Amino acid sequence: MGIFEEKTYQVKCSGLSNEGQGVARIESDREKENGLKVFVDDLLPGEVAKIRITSREKNLAHGEKVETITASANRVVPVCAEFNKCGGCQIQHADYACQLKMKEDMVRSCLYRIGHIPLSDLASVSESILGAPDQFFYRNNVQYPIEYSHAKKSVNIGLYEKKSHKIVEHAKCYLVHPSAEVIRGVAQIYFSDHSRANIAKYLRHLIVRVGIFSKEMMVILVCSRPVKLDAEDFVKTSEKAMSEAQIGMHISSIWTQETKERAKKGFSDVWTNVWGKPYIHEFLEHRVFRISPDAFFQVNSKQTINLYNKVKEYLRHDGALPRLLVDLYCGTGSIGIFCSSVCHHLVGIESVESAVIDARANATANYLENAEFFCGKAEDYDFGAMMPDAVVIDPPRKGCDEKLLRELLHLAPTRIVYVSCNPSTLARDLHRLFQIQEEGSVRYGISRICPVDMFPNTSHVETVVLLSRGK
C-alpha cells in the first residue's frame, strides 16, 4: 500500500514514455505536487483521467488510473485477453495510426530533449514513420520462461506478467509467429509428462527462432544442467501439431544451452546442437542469411526488408556509391550484405565470433566477392589506414561507446547511417558526436531521419539517421 494512494488528481496525458506509459503533469496551484511528472499505465495521449500516485522519486512519480474522464478516439479493445497482465505488449489498446504517431513523437522528443536538436531542424529532415506490413504475428524470435512445479512435476511455459517474474496463463500470443506458439504448447505438454521430470526440472527457457520466408525453425532449450533429450520424438510430436494447425513450417535445428542462474567465475554457456543442422536460414528479398543460435537477427523479417531498403537509400543519398562501406556491429552481416549492391567493397566488424562465421558464410552464399568480416569490438578495432566512404552502425540498445564516436570522426566518411533501436541512446550519441566534433575540423549534420516500426503494439521503435559530412 503506497502512502500516496488515497488522494486522486485529474490529469491530461501529453505523450508516451519509452516503456509505453502515459505521461502527464499534475496541474494545481494549490498542490505542492503542481508540475510533477507522472507515468501512468493504460493512458493514451489526449486522455483525461483521475489518477492515484503509487510511488515517487525526486522529480517524477508513477501512478495508476482510477477513472477515465475523457477517452481517446484512438482507444480500441485489445485483441489479447491478457493484455492488461502480460508484459509483452504496451500499446495494444491504441489503434495503429495512433501507435505510429506516438512513436514519431517519441523519437522527436528524445532528439529534442536529450540530443538538444532544435525542433525546426528536426522538422526539416524528418520523414514519416514506416508502418509495418503486419501488426500481429510478426516476431521471428521469442524467449519463453519455463516454471517447474515440483509438487505436480509439470512445467508452465508462457510470458511474464508486467513488472514480475510470474508467468501469465494465455491461449496465444498475438505478436509471435503462430508456429512458435505451437512449439510452446507442445513443449508444455511434452515436458509435463512425469517420465520427463528429470529433464523438466532443469529447464529455464524455451527459445524459438523462425525463418518467416524460409519456413525453417530452430528450438533452443536453456537449462541449468545438461539434459538428455529424445530430439527425434520431440520433433515428430511438434511436426504433427504444426500439420494439424495447418502451419507450413518445419524444425531444422534443436540446441541446448547450458547456463548458470548465477554465473560462476570462468563459466561460459555450453551450446550443444542435439538434432538437425546447426543453423537456420532466412530470406530477405534476393539475399539469404544463415542464423546461428546466439547470433543477432532482426525480429521482424518483413519489416526488416523495408528498414534495410531505407539504409540502402541513405547510403546513395547524394548519388555517389561508396567505394568502401564499413558495417559496425554487423552481426550476421545482414545490413552490409543486403546493401552490398550500392558499394564497391564491404567490411564488417562484429564482436560475436559465431556471428562473424555466419557473416562470412552469408557472403559466400550470396556470391559476394567484395565482402570481408572481422571479429572484434567496434570501439577497439584498429582501422589502420582504412578510408571508408560510408559507415553503417547498428549498436545494441545501450548505444555507442564515446571511443567509437571519436574514431568515426577520425575515419571521416562522407556519410554515416546510424540504425538505432533506442531513441534515448541515439539522441545521446548524436549530442556527444556533435560536441566532440567541435574539437576538430570534421563536421557532420543530420540530413535525414526516418522512424521505422519494427515492433507493432509495443512501445519500441527503430530509427534510421543519415549524417552527412560538411553539413
| Under 8 Å between Cβ of 427 and 387 | no
Single out the residue of 465, 459, 365 nearest to residue 415, CA to CA.
465
For strand 216-223 and strand 250-258, is the pairing parallel, antiparallel, or unpaired? Answer: parallel
CA 60 to chain centre: 27
For residue 309, give Cα distances in angstroms to 130, 202, 272, 305: 11, 43, 35, 6
| Under 8 Å between Cβ of 325 and 390 | yes
C-alpha radius of gyration, the chain, whole number: 24
Show Cβ contacts of residue 152 under 8 Å, excluding neighbours closer than 6 positions: 192
Phi, psi of 68 (to 5 degrees): -90, 125
Show Cβ contacts of residue 296 under 8 Å, excluding neighbours closer than 6 positions: 331, 332, 352, 355
Assigned C-alpha cell, 249: 513450417
| Under 8 Å between Cβ of 371 and 346 | yes
Give the Cα separation of 210 and 394 in Å (integer): 22
For residue 449, give Cα distances in angstroms to 111, 436, 446: 10, 21, 8
Placement of cell 565482402 in the chain: 371
In the annotation, is 89 catalytic?
no
| Under 8 Å between Cβ of 122 and 136 | no
Instruction: Choose, from 13, 89, 421, 450, the residue flagged as catalytic.
Output: 421
Tell me which residues are annotated as active site. 421
